[in-house]
A and B are shown apart, each in its own frame.
Chain A
Amino acid sequence: MASSGELRLTDIERALEVCLPGCRWVLGVHRWHIYPPGGGAAFYLPKGGHGAGRRAVVQRGHVRKLARQFDVLACMQAELDAL
C-alpha cells in the first residue's frame, strides 16, 4: 500500500487516462518516459520503490509536477484524493 505522500503508478496511470487519454508510457532503465498525446514534451517519472513495475510508488510531488506540465492538475486532483 502506498504511504502518505506517495502514489502508486497504477493509480497515476488510471487517473491520467481519464484526464489526458492516450498518453504513452515507455519504461527506460531508470525512468518512465510519459509522452502526452499530440507530441508535447515528455515527463520522466522515477521507476519508484516498494514494488515492481506499475505497482511501485512515487512521491506525490512528482505527480503534481507531471499534472501541471500536462495542464491537468485539477482533474488529477479530482481523480486522486492523495494528490
Chain B
Amino acid sequence: MVPRLPLLFSFHQVVVGNGFVAGVRMRGRALLEVERIDGHEEQWITGIAPVGIAGGGSDRSVACTEFRRAWLEVLFDLAATAGSLDEFRELCGPFLSSQQASLTTLWDEAVASIRREHYVDPSLQSADADVEVAYEVVDLSHLDADANEVETGLQIAA
C-alpha cells in the first residue's frame, strides 16, 4: 500500500471581481493521505503547488471537493480585495506560485514510490509527474465560446 498518492490537478475557474471578470487556470500538484481520526479514517488532500490549502473528509470524493473549494475560496478572497484585474493578477501570484521545499520533497518521494511499486489506482487516471506546474490569470471580459475548456480533475502523478 502506498501511504501517500502524488496527484496532479487541472482547475479552471471564472472569478468575478470589482469591475473585472477573470479566468484562472492552474495545473498543480497535491498529495492524498489517509489519516486516522479518533478511530476512523479520513482522506486528506494537501496542496503542494500551490501550498496553503487542504481538504478532507470521509472519502476521496469529499476530500477532492473540499480541496477544490479551498483553492476557489482563496481566489474569491483575493478577488474581493482587488480593485482591478491587474491587481487581482498581482495578488494571485504569491498564492498560485507558492511552494515549499519540505512538501515538494514529500511529493517527489511519493512519485518515486509509485514508480517503484508500479502502483495503479483503478479510480484515477495516471499522468506524467514531470509535467510543469503552471497557472495563468486571463481577462474574460471579451472572450467567446472558443475559450471554453474542460478540466481534467485529479490524476495520479506517475
Interface residues, chain A, with chain B CB atoms under 8 Å away? 4-5, 28-31, 33, 40-44, 46, 59-62, 64-65, 68-69, 71
Interface of B is mostly: mixed
Closest B residue by C-beta to A65: B54
A71 touches B77 (CB 8 A): no
**A-B contacts at CB below 8 angstroms, number:** 67
B37 touches A43 (CB 8 A): no
Given contacts A30-B73, A61-B44, contact A69 B38 (CB under 8 A): no
Closest A residue by C-beta to B78: A28
- Indicate with 1 or 0, residue by residue over B89-124, a CB within 8 angstroms of chain A CB atoms: 000001100111011000000000000000000000
Interface residues, chain B, with chain A CB atoms under 8 Å away? 35, 37-38, 42, 44, 46, 50-54, 56, 70, 73-74, 76-78, 80-81, 94-95, 98-100, 102-103
A44-B53, A59-B56 given; name 6 further pairs at CB < 8 Å: A4-B38, A28-B78, A29-B76, A41-B94, A61-B35, A61-B54
Closest A residue by C-beta to B99: A41
A64 CB contacts on chain B under 8 angstroms: 35
Closest A residue by C-beta to B35: A61
Given contacts A61-B35, A61-B44, A69-B100, contact A43 B80 (CB under 8 A): no
B80 touches A29 (CB 8 A): yes
Which interface residue of A4, A5, A68, A69 has the most chain B CB atoms within 10 A? A69
Interface of A is mostly: mixed
A44 touches B100 (CB 8 A): no
B74 CB contacts on chain A under 8 angstroms: 28, 30-31, 33, 44
Q: For the complex formed, measure the closest distance between the CB of A20 and the CB atoms of chain B, giving whole angstroms.
A: 14
B102 CB contacts on chain A under 8 angstroms: 71
B52 CB contacts on chain A under 8 angstroms: 41-44, 69
A60 touches B37 (CB 8 A): yes
Q: For the complex formed, measure the closest distance between the CB of B69 and the CB atoms of chain A, giving whole angstroms.
A: 9
A68 CB contacts on chain B under 8 angstroms: 46, 103
Which interface residue of A28, A41, A60 has the most chain B CB atoms within 10 A? A41
A31 CB contacts on chain B under 8 angstroms: 70, 73-74, 77
